[in-house]
Amino acid sequence: MKTKNKTVAYDLRASSFNWEIAPGKTIQAWGFNNQVPGPVLRANAGDTLVVRLINDLSEATTIHWHGIALPASMDGTDATQRPIEPGEVF
Ligand SMILES: [Cu+2]
């Protein structure tokens, strides 16, 4: 039986945070949702993945994707997408 494709949505908050890289050793890191690496995004083949990027960094950023089919305007390169400024949501 074929399951119906669905829309799967995630929020990724880009920010700077304290990351304990070894016991007693903490550094300032940039990442998504206060973790390095960022969270795993799970969807099934055929689903539509909607990712909302909240930029809480002090600099503009984008997300560049590999391995999935997506519109060029969502692919996070300077050639195809305007950078997401600090405080913006895309
Ligand atoms: Cu690439």
DSSP class per residue in 53-80: EEE-SSS-B-----SS---GGGS--TTT
Q: Give residue 63 CA to ligand 1 midpoint distance, Å.
A: 10
Q: 3 falls in which pLDDT band (50, 70, 90)?
A: confident
Residue 80 in contact with residue 90, Cβ under 8 Å? no
pLDDT tens column, 28-53 = 999 999 999 999 999 999 999 999 99
Q: Does pTM top 0.85 for this prediction?
A: yes
User: Mean pLDDT of all residues in the chain?
Assistant: 94
Q: Give residue 77 CA to ligand 1 midpoint distance, Å.
A: 8
Q: 2 falls in which pLDDT band (50, 70, 90)?
A: low
Q: Give residue 76 CA to ligand 1 midpoint distance, Å.
A: 9
Query: What average pLDDT does range 6-33 have in this prediction?
Result: 97
Q: Give residue 19 CA to ligand 1 midpoint distance, Å.
A: 26
Domains of the chain: 7-74 (2.60.40.420)
Q: Give residue 64 CA to ligand 1 midpoint distance, Å.
A: 6
Sheet holding 48-55, edge to edge: 25-32, 7-22, 48-55
